[in-house]
């Protein structure tokens, strides 16, 4: 079969519009599936890492670290001959993120093939899919895909009848957002309380049960099959700007057609929101947006023409994160949205380190008072201070810094709204927004 | 060494350590919570933040957690940078959002690490306006109080309890700001080190319940360095006392850890911490008593017990002196019985009074033989008793028969750390620093080979790579086979058995450790263990092997040094059987009814006159004609020698109530009385020396002279009249309060404090409060450090030695290399465990050790007594089935007093019946025929029992 | 409240499933968490008795299991209704009106988050983002997703579930 280098949507090319099932193995293979793995099996592992590194594939879990480079920290076979592990992070729980679910439910073999390639590159013979508990459909489909692949010798002992073998196990998590943090995830997999681990040592050196371990996001892994087949140059050419590849971008909030699309890396925000998402619903104006989930900084309407790529969004003071955009409209209270996010983070804090465990409930307390019209001017300085106290490097993991991002940026972007709450003694959006949600 | 710069000043530090330890070692103040010197760093609390600069040009720097930052040569840091200061104050501010601010009613107040850190970071104002989260507290047993609302979630409690001490019933529950540290349900904390929670918790979540009952603030406690009197390990303690001014004789309020690098480090066991309450027990003797023949209308005395009445001390001394006079005139024989639970000085005074030939050790022949054998084994220069840090570094451990979790608990805690040796090696290989605790503990690695042979399940079984639960005889057999196996050139086998595995581990070990002791009362076992250790030593490159032998009592080793093997309670019984010279037995802190069977003790005491010096009104005291109230360890100064052969001095913390004084002082008083009658000390040269004794150091000097191994005693501790910078040391801290008000009810004028004639210390605030480099240092306080964390100010470095060097001096045993211990001449004993082979219809009685239950004095402590079980007889499940016994049944043994509750375990040794030592009588000797077992009540399942 | 199921013993099915998971891990440590999940699948929630039975079977301290159970939000240590409604209350759903949904449920069933209806059928819980943000507001009941919720959809859903349970009784 000829391989089509004009392919622009490698992540979703198998998924038929209008269907809702998973791509069956037959179709998947007919479409060139598992050829990337076959190719990878002919390459020395180091070359696979090199290829992925050269292609510029960056982690889609949110941090955007070069995937090939991450793999290269795994000790070489000469240095270490014991067990290694690959872990697929399918714990998607970031507020406003809805991309991994799609891949998991619709094209599980793409993920499995990607995992096999990654495992081959790092020398792992055991892999886990760490799936959040609230994705039962994905669980079912992954489980049957694994079984299919195993009976076709695409996974399990002797892949393609060769020496490489890979045992993939589906782990269904029992919850908590922090489990998505890669070191907390390792503890969860080991059956412990999912508290993050100190870095160094990095998981690539000492991860699961103290063995070298690579944790990769679902989408990251799904990029591998085609990358292997079509090469680094092709992969780079998929991106519009400096960042390589295609990416699942999504929009939620009050746009006409919220959804998820595979687009070139570097597609401008405006295109995603206005063309794909159809623009704002009638009667709503765009006030701001979270470019990549609840733990990224707010951007404003002035940022609409920025390209969605790690560097550009980073320069604008936010992060591309998961690439799923949440749009804030002019009828929704920004303070209310920030409060919603902070409640989430406060609840999901693992409780290990002080700034997060005790800082977030405090932030929530202040925001609740402001939202209810009992805020004070000094509260805004205090919020700044508390956000700063949760900044990068000050907490044990990236959860609290992630929580600080929307908080801090909202204090810049929506300062007038905060002030209005305080001066008016009530929420100016009260008639539009439903009352404060009840929480446990 | 590395040079680092902190706030523009250069410092020399050991590289590789973390910045927080480095700062504390340099005595630089830096706040922290989750870090602990013994447990390392986890970076949870974020309290220790400092600024790290990349280079001299870097002016902004980056906030880092000192406890998680390894120091490297050339590093630049700032503690005082405003960013760091603001952040640290912010962390406290966060922690305090939920704290109840209940310091006035909190037992931790005044020695609270959280208070200290709050001050240190200068957090003064509350800005949080929300509601505090609240928790329900739990009942955690009679020792520990729980007040979860004070928690700041530093995780130290679970890190100590689970990770360090191996406890399984204290956990973190919940998540986010709702985290709860407690048990799954109400109930006593099961781990034997639970008391350390009170010291490990930086605030008042876990506090000492026994202390709370008679609570005073730390600054109102009078303290002096002491040594734990509850087992042979010899942990250093800092008991705290206070007189309530209202005549309550119970002065001792609590015991806390006193750092000694080589023994207890930062931790004590629960027997040591809570056992102190015996000093306040209702059984405590405060005045001399004498037996009376006057008829009383009613009496609680029964059997051979005497009716006793208080006697003025002068009269009691006179009575005693009369008897000594008779002896001086050869009309009476004086026999002294010494004790392993009191100081060398007390024993020596008695020995001097009665003469060496009349001095008998207050232990059975069987125990004496064990003690002598153990002592002799340790004379072998190839064998050495390891320090706690050395035990923690062991990389192959063989524990033979001794249940150290119950007989030498602090040593068991050290062995538990050794279990992680392989993991630590793996961390080294991965360049993970040892102090990075969580990361090291996450490493999956093989376990350190630890082999345990025991007669029942032990608390260390969870860290053992192999266990053998069997009869003493089989343990001896195994030990011998192991020794033999070591001589066999290693044959690579596919599936090595336990024997081969253990032998291979010992052969491969850099720091092999053998642990044994007298607990099983088995000489063959001790001999076999010594033989094994010798063999390991021969094969080791250093030609040495660590052998820890656990001795039962706080001064067993001391008593052995001054006693003859042949003068013990059994030979004394024989002697008294065969003579009709009128005899006075002077029992020094010995309860015959604990050392002998009731009938034997009754027989021994039948025809003698008994003078008893002791702490508690025990069975022996109740039979005595004359009883003297003796000072307990924390009420006196003296020397004890621990199992490792370290001579340590305990100092008087407070003067005992009533007429309590040191046993040697009573004896000196008696000698002085005799001398006065005789017309001067020179008239009775044999007693002259005693009569002149005024200071305990005179006795130690005399001991050093009299016994070559005890020579170091002359160098031990300061002379009574020594001065430190021209002053004595204050027992009361500089903030001691109420000294004028305390006795205002009885006298307006301030009473002069008692004068200490044994140590250069005052029972007052006068003098040096912080002896610093001196062994007399107990006040863990430094400016800004009211909590026990202040200890780092007195150490050369964190986890290092006390600045003046660790206290204590090792015994100078005659070095003697033994070919074999097999031939050691032992007392003729019948069927000690390890010898008798159980036949199908007979059982070997084996002693079982219990943390709470096997300690003579601690059993009289109120809280401990409340958790003591009834005496039990433990059977192997097969034996129980054969005898048709169920757990909960009660049995008696013919010829052996008492009723026992049956317990059945599959980890109990078959063919054995286990008895908890220390409840009352010693173990039955010989074997127990099945026919002698009589069921009293049954507890068949479903039946009412 | 539903009666706590008979406890103290693990069923053969539960044990088989736990042991099936065991094959996936090099140590038995992860089984605690897996077992809690499995037991809950069978019993709806993890009672003290079930916890004890698990601890006994796995030979781990009960406190260790409870420490896990209370950490993970999908393990229920209190009885729940037969239908557990996981209402997403994260950002996108909030923007799209999940508070109105919550209010409506309160009106219809008189329960708030963490509460169970008196008939023991419904329990309402709040849940982190369900990853279906483009169809907000969403709720998961059992294994079913319910999307773009409004009052009518909720009413229909409640009606259907109620009927199902009433006809089962
Ligand atoms: C609080 C927190 C939650 C996270 N959740 C997820 C998640 O659900 N899925 C994910 O892939 N990455 C998540 N991450 C990022 C992971 O830690 C990690 O960076 C990622 O899985 C690495 O994969 P990648 O290199 O392929 O992006 C989370 C990080 C943090 C701090
Ligand atoms: S920032 Fe701290 S408390 Fe928050 S989730 Fe991370 S480790 Fe846990
Ligand atoms: S002491 Fe450093 S973070 Fe707690």
CA angle B315, B321, B322 (to 5 degrees): 95
Q: Do B168 and C64 touch (CB under 8 A)?
A: yes
Q: Could you give the C-alpha distances from B777 to B273, B501, B787, B857, C34, in angstroms and in order?
A: 19, 47, 15, 26, 53
Residue A382 lies in a domain: yes
Do B497 and B521 have their domain in common?
Answer: yes
CATH number, domain of A434, equals 1.20.1440.230
Total domain count for chain B?
4
In this structure, are residues B413 and B193 in contact, taking their beta carbons and an 8 Å threshold? Answer: yes
Which alpha helices (DSSP H) does B563-645 contain, by range?
569-577, 592-595, 598-606, 619-623
In this structure, are residues A361 and B130 in contact, taking their beta carbons and an 8 Å threshold? Answer: yes
Burial class of residue A377, CB neighbours in 10 A (0-12, 13-18, 19+): exposed
Length of chain A: 440
Please give the Cα distance from A110 to A224 (Å, whole number): 9
Do A39 and A90 have their domain in common?
Answer: yes
Do A354 and A430 have their domain in common?
Answer: yes
Please give the Cα distance from B501 to B505 (Å, whole number): 6
Q: B31 is in which domain, residue-wise?
A: 2-96
Mark which of A329, A353, A368 sits at the end of a domain: A329
Chains that touch B (3 or more CB pairs under 8 A): A, C
What are A233-269's pLDDT values in tens digits? 999 999 998 999 999 999 999 999 999 999 999 999 9
CATH number, domain of A133, equals 3.40.50.11540
Do A424 and A354 have their domain in common?
Answer: yes
Q: How many beta carbons lie within 10 A of that of residue A215, not counting itself?
A: 26
Residue A217 lies in a domain: yes
User: How distant is the Cα of A378 from the closest Cα of chain B, in angstroms?
Assistant: 10
- Residue C86 DSSP code: E
Residues 6+ apart with CB under 8 A from A196: A178, A181, A183, A184, A187, A350, A352, A396, A397, A399
Residue A271 Cβ inside 6 Å of ligand 1? The answer reads: no
Q: A56 is in which domain, residue-wise?
A: 10-237
Q: Do B184 and C66 touch (CB under 8 A)?
A: yes
In this structure, are residues C149 and C137 in contact, taking their beta carbons and an 8 Å threshold? Answer: yes
Residue B206 lies in a domain: no
In this structure, are residues B615 and B589 in contact, taking their beta carbons and an 8 Å threshold? Answer: yes
Q: Which H or E element spans position B609?
A: strand B609-614
Residue B784 lies in a domain: no
Do A206 and A262 have their domain in common?
Answer: no
The answer, yes or no, to whether residue C1 has pLDDT greater than 70, is no
Do B426 and B547 have their domain in common?
Answer: yes
Average pLDDT over every residue of C61-80: 97
Residue A41 lies in a domain: yes
Residue A313 lies in a domain: yes
Residue B281 C-beta-side C-alpha neighbours within 13 Å:
25
Instruction: Indicate the top mutation candidate among A91, A395, A407 to test ligand 2's pocket, ranked by most ligand atoms within 8 A of CB.
Output: A395
Do B33 and B89 have their domain in common?
Answer: yes
In this structure, are residues C75 and C37 in contact, taking their beta carbons and an 8 Å threshold? Answer: yes
Please give the Cα distance from A249 to A276 (Å, whole number): 10
Name the one residue in this structure whose structure tokens are 């998947």.
A28
Mark which of B61, B96, B131 sits at the end of a domain: B96
Mark which of B523, B557, B591 sits at the end of a domain: B557
Mark which of A237, A257, A283 sits at the end of a domain: A237
Residues 6+ apart with CB under 8 A from B680: none
Phi, psi of B19 (to 5 degrees): -65, -35
Do A218 and A263 have their domain in common?
Answer: no
Do B566 and B548 have their domain in common?
Answer: no
Long-range contacts of A339-343 (CB under 8 A, 24+ apart): A339/A364, A339/A367, A339/A368, A339/A371, A339/A436, A340/A95, A340/A437, A340/C89, A340/C90, A340/C91, A340/C94, A341/A95, A341/A294, A341/A403, A341/A406, A341/A407, A341/C91, A342/A367, A342/A403, A342/A407, A343/A439
A15 alpha carbon, distance to own chain's centre: 20
CATH number, domain of B394, equals 3.40.228.10
Q: What is the CA radius of gyration of chain B?
A: 29
Residue B379 lies in a domain: yes
- Predicted local confidence at residue B491, as pLDDT: 65
A171 touches chain C (CB under 8 A): yes
- Mutation site, C67, C69, C114, C128, interface B, largest B CB count within 10 A: C67
Do A101 and A226 have their domain in common?
Answer: yes
The answer, yes or no, to whether residue C2 has pLDDT greater than 70, is no
Name the one residue in this structure whose structure tokens are 């479903």.
B942
CATH number, domain of B612, equals 3.40.50.740
Do B553 and B587 have their domain in common?
Answer: no
What are C17-44's pLDDT values in tens digits? 999 999 999 999 999 999 999 999 999 9
Residues of chain C contacting residue A440, judged by C-beta atoms under 8 Å apart:
113-114, 126
CA angle B287, B293, B294 (to 5 degrees): 90
Does residue B327 have a cis bond before it (omega within 30 degrees)?
no
B497 alpha carbon, distance to own chain's centre: 37
Do A41 and A162 have their domain in common?
Answer: yes
Phi, psi of A343 (to 5 degrees): -60, -40
Q: Do C63 and B175 touch (CB under 8 A)?
A: no
Residues of chain C contacting residue B180, judged by C-beta atoms under 8 Å apart:
70
Burial class of residue B388, CB neighbours in 10 A (0-12, 13-18, 19+): buried
Question: Residue B884, by phi and psi: left (phi above 0), alpha (psi -120 to 50) or beta?
Answer: left
Mark which of B528, B557, B586 sits at the end of a domain: B557
Phi, psi of A367 (to 5 degrees): -65, -35
In this structure, are residues C146 and C157 in contact, taking their beta carbons and an 8 Å threshold? Answer: yes
Kindly state the tokens that stand for A294: 């609840």
Measured between CA atoms, the residue of chain A closest to residue B171 is: A193
Residue B223 lies in a domain: no
Q: What is the pTM of this model?
A: 0.96
Please give the Cα distance from A39 to B722 (Å, whole number): 85
Mark which of A300, A329, A358 sits at the end of a domain: A329
Residue B32 Cβ inside 6 Å of ligand 3? The answer reads: yes
- Mutation site, A95, A208, A248, interface C, largest C CB count within 10 A: A95
Please give the Cα distance from B794 to A261 (Å, whole number): 66
Ligand 3 closest atom vs CA B67: 2
Q: Say if strands B583-588 and B466-469 run parallel, antiparallel, or are unpaired.
A: unpaired
Residue B6 lies in a domain: yes
Residue A1 lies in a domain: no
Q: State the sign of the Cα–Cα–Cα–Cα dihedral B62, B67, B73, B78.
A: positive
Do B499 and B613 have their domain in common?
Answer: no
Residue A393 banded pLDDT, cuts 50, 70, 90: very high
Do A342 and A360 have their domain in common?
Answer: yes
User: How distant is the Cα of B171 from the closest Cα of chain C, in angstroms?
Assistant: 6
Measured between CA atoms, the residue of chain A closest to residue C24 is: A169
The pocket around ligand 2, CB under 6 angstroms, is made up of: A 178, 196, 349-353, 356-357, 395-397, 399-400
Question: Residue B43, by phi and psi: left (phi above 0), alpha (psi -120 to 50) or beta?
Answer: left
Do B605 and B669 have their domain in common?
Answer: yes
ipTM, two decimals, is 0.96
Do B409 and B513 have their domain in common?
Answer: yes
Kindly state the tokens that stand for B179: 């985290």
Length of chain C: 169
Q: What is the CA radius of gyration of chain C?
A: 18
Do B338 and B376 have their domain in common?
Answer: no
Residue B403 lies in a domain: yes
Nearest ligand to the CA of B45 is 3
What are A404-427's pLDDT values in tens digits? 999 999 999 999 999 999 999 999
**Which residue, judged by its Cα, is nearest atom 2 of ligand 2?**
A353
Q: Say if strands B890-893 and B933-937 run parallel, antiparallel, or are unpaired.
A: antiparallel
Do A108 and A252 have their domain in common?
Answer: no
A212 alpha carbon, distance to own chain's centre: 22
Please give the Cα distance from B273 to A266 (Å, whole number): 67
Residue B501 lies in a domain: yes
Residue B210 lies in a domain: no
Residues 6+ apart with CB under 8 A from A423: none
Do A287 and A174 have their domain in common?
Answer: no
Please give the Cα distance from A147 to B535 (Å, whole number): 57
- Predicted local confidence at residue A437, as pLDDT: 81
Do A284 and A389 have their domain in common?
Answer: no
**Which one, of B296, B305, B208, lies nearest residue B252 by Cα?**
B208
Total domain count for chain A?
3
**Which residue, judged by its Cα, is nearest atom 18 of ligand 1?**
A182
Do B676 and B568 have their domain in common?
Answer: yes
Kindly state the tokens that stand for B363: 């232990």
Please give the Cα distance from B410 to B427 (Å, whole number): 26
Please give the Cα distance from B212 to A37 (Å, whole number): 68
Q: Could you give the C-alpha distances from B630 to B80, B345, B346, B601, B660, in angstroms and in order?
A: 55, 13, 10, 22, 5
Which parts of chain B register pLDDT below 50? 823-831, 836, 838, 941-945
Length of chain B: 945
CATH number, domain of B85, equals 3.10.20.740
Do B334 and B391 have their domain in common?
Answer: no
CA of A388 to the centre of ligand 2 (A): 15
Please give the Cα distance from A407 to A410 (Å, whole number): 5
Expressed in angstroms, the distance from the first to the final Cα of chain A is: 57
Do A109 and A193 have their domain in common?
Answer: yes
Contacting B with CB below 8 Å, chain C residues are 26-27, 61-64, 66-67, 70-71
- Predicted local confidence at residue A74, as pLDDT: 97
Residue A2 lies in a domain: no
| Burial annotation A324-357 (CB, 10 A radius, 16+ → b, else e) | bbbbbbebbbbbbbbbbbbbbbbbbbbbbbbbbb
Please give the Cα distance from A260 to A15 (Å, whole number): 13
CATH number, domain of A272, equals 3.10.20.600
Do B473 and B575 have their domain in common?
Answer: no
């Amino acid at each position: 079969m000829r391989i089509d280098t004009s392919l622009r949507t490698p992540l979703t090319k198998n998924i038929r519009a209008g269907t809702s099932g998973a791509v069956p193995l037959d179709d998947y293979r007919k479409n060139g599936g598992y050829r990337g793995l076959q190719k990878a099996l002919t390459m020395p592992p180091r070359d696979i890492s090199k290829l992925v590194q050269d292609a510029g594939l960056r982690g889609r879990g949110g941090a955007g670290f070069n995937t090939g480079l991450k793999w290269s920290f795994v000790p070489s076979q000469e240095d270490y001959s014991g067990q290694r592990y690959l872990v697929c992070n399918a714990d998607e729980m970031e507020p406003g993120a809805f991309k991994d679910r799609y891949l998991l439910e619709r094209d599980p073999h793409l993920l499995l093939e990607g995992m096999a390639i990654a495992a081959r590159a790092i020398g792992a013979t055991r892999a886990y899919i760490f799936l959040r508990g609230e994705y039962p459909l994905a669980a079912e489909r992954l489980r049957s895909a694994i079984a299919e692949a195993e009976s076709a010798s695409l996974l399990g002992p002797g892949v393609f009848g060769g020496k490489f073998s890979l045992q993939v196990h589906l782990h269904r998590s029992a919850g908590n957002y922090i489990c998505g943090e890669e070191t907390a995830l390792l503890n969860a997999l080991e059956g412990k309380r999912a508290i993050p681990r100190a870095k160094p040592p990095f998981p690539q050196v000492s991860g699961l049960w103290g063995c070298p371990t690579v944790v990769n996001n679902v989408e990251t892994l799904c990029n591998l099959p085609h990358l292997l087949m079509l090469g680094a140059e092709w992969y780079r050419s998929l991106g519009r700007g400096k960042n390589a590849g295609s990416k699942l971008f999504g929009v939620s909030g009050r746009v006409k057609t919220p959804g998820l699309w595979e687009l070139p890396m570097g597609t401008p925000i405006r295109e995603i929101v206005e063309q794909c998402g159809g623009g704002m619903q009638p009667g709503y104006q765009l006030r701001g947006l979270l470019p990549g989930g609840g733990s990224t900084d707010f951007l404003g309407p002035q940022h609409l023409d920025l390209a969605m790529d790690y560097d550009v969004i980073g320069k604008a003071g936010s992060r591309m994160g998961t690439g799923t955009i949440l749009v804030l409209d002019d009828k929704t209270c920004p303070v209310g949205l920030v409060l919603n996010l902070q409640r989430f983070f406060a609840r999901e804090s693992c409780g290990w380190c002080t700034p997060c465990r005790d800082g977030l409930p405090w932030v929530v307390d202040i925001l609740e008072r402001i939202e209810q019209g009992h805020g004070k001017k000094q509260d805004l300085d205090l919020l700044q201070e508390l956000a700063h106290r949760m900044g990068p490097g000050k907490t044990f993991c990236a959860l609290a810094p992630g929580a600080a991002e929307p908080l801090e940026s909202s204090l810049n972007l929506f300062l007038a709204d905060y002030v209005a709450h305080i001066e008016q003694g009530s929420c100016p959006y009260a008639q539009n927004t439903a009352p404060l949600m009840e929480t446990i | 060494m590395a040079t680092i710069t902190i706030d523009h000043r250069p410092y020399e530090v050991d590289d590789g350590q973390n910045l927080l330890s480095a700062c504390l070692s340099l005595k630089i103040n830096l706040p922290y919570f989750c870090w602990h010197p013994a447990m390392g760093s986890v970076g949870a609390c974020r309290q220790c933040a400092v600024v790290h600069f990349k280079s001299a040009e870097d002016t902004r720097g980056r906030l880092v957690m000192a406890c998680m930052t390894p120091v490297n040569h050339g590093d630049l840091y700032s503690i005082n940078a405003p960013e760091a200061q603001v952040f640290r104050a912010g962390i406290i501010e966060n922690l305090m959002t939920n704290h109840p601010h209940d310091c006035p009613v909190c037992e931790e107040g005044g020695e609270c690490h959280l208070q200290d850190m709050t001050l240190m970071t200068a957090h003064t104002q509350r800005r949080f306006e929300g509601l505090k989260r609240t928790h329900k507290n739990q009942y955690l047993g009679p020792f520990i109080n729980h007040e979860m609302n004070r928690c700041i979630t530093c995780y130290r409690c679970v890190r100590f309890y689970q990770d360090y001490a191996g406890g399984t019933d204290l956990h973190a529950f919940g998540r986010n700001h709702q985290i709860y540290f407690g048990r799954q349900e109400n109930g006593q904390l099961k781990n034997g080190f639970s008391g350390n929670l009170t010291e490990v918790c930086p605030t008042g979540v876990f506090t000492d319940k026994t202390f709370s009952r008679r609570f005073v603030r730390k600054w109102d406690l009078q303290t002096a360095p002491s040594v734990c009197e509850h087992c042979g390990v010899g942990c250093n303690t800092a008991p705290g006392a206070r007189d309530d001014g209202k005549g309550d004789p119970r002065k001792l309020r609590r015991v806390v850890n006193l750092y000694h690098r080589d023994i207890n480090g930062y931790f004590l066991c629960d027997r040591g911490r809570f056992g102190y309450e015996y000093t306040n027990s209702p059984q405590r003797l405060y005045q001399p008593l004498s037996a009376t023949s006057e008829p009383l209308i009613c009496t609680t005395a029964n059997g051979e017990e005497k009716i006793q009445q208080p006697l003025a001390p002068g009269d009691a001394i006179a009575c005693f002196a009369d008897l000594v006079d008779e002896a001086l005139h050869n009309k009476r024989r004086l026999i002294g019985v010494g004790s392993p639970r009191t100081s060398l000085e007390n024993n020596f005074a008695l020995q001097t009074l009665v003469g060496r030939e009349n001095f008998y050790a207050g232990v059975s022949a069987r125990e004496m033989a064990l003690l002598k054998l153990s002592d002799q084994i340790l004379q072998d220069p190839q064998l050495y008793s390891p320090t706690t840090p050395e035990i923690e570094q062991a990389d192959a451990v063989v524990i033979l028969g001794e249940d150290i979790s119950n007989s030498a608990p602090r040593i068991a805690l050290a062995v538990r750390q050794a279990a992680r040796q392989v993991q630590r090696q793996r961390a080294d290989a991965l360049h993970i620093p040892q102090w990075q605790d969580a990361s090291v503990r996450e490493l999956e690695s093989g376990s350190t080979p630890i082999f345990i042979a025991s007669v029942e399940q032990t608390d260390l079984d969870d860290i053992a790579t192999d266990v053998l639960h069997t009869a003493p005889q089989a343990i001896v057999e195994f030990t011998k086979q192991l020794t033999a196996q070591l001589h066999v050139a290693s044959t690579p086998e596919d599936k090595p058995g336990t024997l081969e595995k253990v032998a291979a581990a010992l052969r491969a070990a850099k720091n092999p450790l053998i642990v044994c002791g007298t607990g099983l009362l088995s000489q063959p076992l001790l001999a076999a263990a010594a033989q094994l250790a010798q063999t390991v030593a021969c094969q080791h490159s250093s030609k040495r092997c660590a052998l820890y032998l656990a001795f039962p009592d706080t001064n067993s080793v001391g008593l052995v040094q001054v006693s003859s093997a042949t003068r013990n309670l059994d030979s004394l019984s024989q002697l008294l059987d065969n003579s009709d010279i009128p005899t006075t037995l002077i029992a020094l802190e010995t309860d015959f009814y604990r050392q002998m069977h009731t009938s034997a003790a009754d027989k021994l005491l039948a025809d003698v006159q008994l003078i008893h010096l002791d702490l508690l009104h025990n069975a022996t005291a109740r039979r005595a004609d004359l009883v003297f109230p003796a000072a307990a360890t924390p009420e006196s100064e003296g020397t004890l020698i621990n199992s490792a052969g370290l001579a340590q001095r305990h100092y008087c913390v407070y003067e005992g109530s009533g007429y309590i004084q040191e046993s040697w002082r009573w004896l000196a008083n008696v000698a002085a009385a005799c001398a006065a009658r005789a017309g001067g000390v020179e008239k009775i040269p044999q007693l002259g020396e005693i009569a002149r004794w005024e200071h305990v150091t005179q006795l130690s000097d005399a001991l050093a002279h009299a016994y070559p191994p005890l020579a170091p005693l002359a160098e031990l501790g300061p002379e009574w009249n020594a001065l430190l910078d021209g002053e004595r040391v204050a027992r009361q801290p500089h903030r001691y309060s109420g000294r004028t008000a305390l006795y205002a009810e009885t006298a307006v004028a301030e009473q002069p404090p008692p004068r200490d004639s044994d140590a250069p210390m005052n029972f007052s605030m006068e003098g040096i409060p912080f002896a610093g480099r001196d062994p007399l240092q107990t006040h863990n306080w430094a400016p800004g450090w009211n909590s026990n964390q202040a200890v780092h100010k007195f150490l050369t470095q964190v986890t290092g030695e006390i600045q003046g060097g660790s206290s204590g001096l090792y015994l100078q045993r005659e070095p003697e290399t033994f070919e074999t211990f097999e031939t050691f001449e032992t007392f003729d004993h019948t069927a000690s465990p390890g010898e008798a082979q159980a036949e199908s219809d007979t059982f070997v009685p084996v002693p079982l050790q219990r943390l709470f239950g096997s300690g003579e004095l601690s059993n009289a402590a109120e809280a401990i007594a409340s958790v003591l079980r009834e005496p039990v007889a433990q059977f192997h499940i097969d034996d129980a089935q054969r005898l048709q016994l169920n757990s909960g049944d009660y049995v008696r043994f013919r010829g052996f007093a008492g009723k026992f509750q049956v317990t059945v375990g599959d980890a109990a040794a078959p063919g054995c019946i286990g008895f908890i030592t220390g409840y009352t009588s010693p173990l039955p000797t010989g074997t127990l025929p099945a026919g002698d077992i009589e069921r009293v009540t049954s507890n068949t399942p479903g039946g009412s029992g | 409240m539903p009666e706590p199921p008979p406890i103290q013993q693990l069923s053969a099915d539960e044990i088989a499933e736990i042991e099936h998971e065991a094959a996936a891990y090099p140590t038995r440590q992860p089984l605690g968490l897996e077992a809690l999940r499995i037991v809950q699948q069978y019993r709806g929630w993890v009672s003290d008795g079930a916890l004890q039975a698990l601890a006994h079977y796995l030979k781990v301290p009960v406190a260790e299991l409870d420490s896990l159970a209370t950490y993970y939000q999908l393990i229920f240590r209190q009885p729940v209704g037969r239908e557990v409604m996981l209402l997403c209350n994260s950002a996108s759903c909030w923007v799209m009106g999940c508070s109105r949904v919550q209010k409506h449920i309160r009106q219809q069933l008189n329960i708030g988050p963490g509460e169970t209806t008196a008939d023991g059928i419904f329990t309402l819980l709040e849940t982190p983002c369900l990853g279906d943000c483009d169809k907000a507001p969403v709720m998961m009941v059992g294994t079913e997703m319910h999307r773009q919720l409004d009052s009518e959809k909720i009413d229909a859903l409640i009606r259907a579930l109620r009927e199902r349970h009433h006809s089962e009784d």
